[in-house]
Amino acid sequence: MQWYTGNTFYDSLLIAGFAYVVLIFVGSLFGTAAYGGRFGQGKRNKGIKLHAKTGWIIMELPGIIVFPVVFFMGSNADQAVPLFFLAIWMMHYTNRALITPLLMRVQPGTSSSFALNVVIAGWITLFLHGYFNAAYISELGSQYTIEWFSDPRFQIGLAIYAFGFILNIHSDYILRNLRSKNPSPDEPRYKIPFGGGFRFVTCPQYLGEILSFIGFAVMTWNLGAVFVMAMTIGNLVPRAIYTHRWFHKNFDNYPKERKAVIPFVL
Ligand SMILES: NC(=O)c1ccc[n+]([C@@H]2O[C@H](COP(=O)([O-])OP(=O)(O)OC[C@H]3O[C@@H](n4cnc5c(N)ncnc54)[C@H](OP(=O)(O)O)[C@@H]3O)[C@@H](O)[C@H]2O)c1
């Protein structure tokens, strides 16, 4: 059966991957992943708990390992367009797996909030989308000749990706600076963030992440990237709504005009 690439293993795993997206999305309607101060202490946080920084790094490490390993096994791994996507991927996941967690400012006494089951769910996703994208980009996809750089899908996708990535790191920067470098235990743990994307939504960091993956899907034009995009939307839109409700419940003066994740809409 050929429904996408003709590679039976790849195509079957892709179907399983999309079924997993549906499962994660349905699960997120009943509660969000157990990590972080707001959600890391709830009833979903059972069993082993990791320090926030350790949890993030261990969970995201496959992002910087699986893609390059699979990529360099492909026959197009020395071509300019695939190498460009490798560079984008490595930049994205070096930020997510190493830079963001290492810069994170953790309130003393609140650090062990990262549930091991979140790490395992993260690994499944990262193994799948690392494989889907790397195998397609460096081996199975046929569109990535040098002309792809002048294709409107590549150019529009890259612009969306760049906007999303900058919004994400700028929003993470604003959040990080709400706490002092070495927060004391009696400092308020949460404050209302202002400026940048926070003028419009409660979770511009999530909006930036979602836009990055929409941009990546458009610029690579492949179903493996649609998988990452769907997973990110299915995970982060409900989490943004939970976070938005949390702010309204905990801060009487929370800006009324701010939406959760999509400016002026949601
Ligand atoms: N691709 C994906 O599916 C995916 C999934 C999840 C996250 N991400 C990305 O990973 C990054 C981190 O995500 P996250 O869910 O941990 O984000 P987050 O809830 O924004 O938290 C990030 C850091 O900021 C702190 N913080 C958050 N709100 C604060 C406030 N109001 N006042 C003071 N400190 C505050 C948090 O502290 P506490 O830990 O103490 O709450 C944590 O250290 C984001 O860029 C996100 O887009 C991507």
Whether the CB of 209 sits within 6 Å of ligand 1: yes
From atom 43 of ligand 1, which residue's Cα is the shortest distance away? 104
> pLDDT value at position 113?
72
Q: Where does 80-203 have alpha helices with state H?
A: 80-94, 100-103, 116-135, 152-176
Q: Is the CB of 38 under 6 A from ligand 1?
A: yes
* Ligand 1 pocket residue status of 112, Cβ below 6 Å: no
* Region 65-85 average pLDDT: 98
3-state class (DSSP) for residue 163: helix
Task: Go through 202-214 and write b for each residue having 16 or more CB atoms within 10 A of its CB, e for each that does not.
Answer: bbbbbbbbbbbbb
Top pLDDT among 133 and 109 is at: 133
pLDDT band at 45 (very low <50, low <70, confident <90, very high): low
pLDDT at 27 exceeding the cut of 60: yes
* Residue 112 host element (H or E): strand 112-115
Identify the residue with better confidence: 227 or 182: 227
- Give residue 36 CA to ligand 1 midpoint distance, Å: 7
State the Cα–Cα distance between residues 236 and 42, nearest whole angstrom: 18
Question: Which atom of ligand 1 approaches the CA of 203 most closely?
Answer: 20
Quick check: 185 and 212 in contact, CB under 8 A? no
Atom of ligand 1 nearest to the CA of 125: 3
- Choice among 17-21, 85-89, 115-119, 204-208 with the minimum mean pLDDT: 115-119
Residue 185 pLDDT class (50, 70, 90 cuts): confident
Mean pLDDT of 180-198: 92
- Per the structure block, which two tokens stand in for 29? 């309607």
The set of residues, in sequence order, having a beta carbon less than 8 Å from that of 72 and lying 6+ positions away, is 138
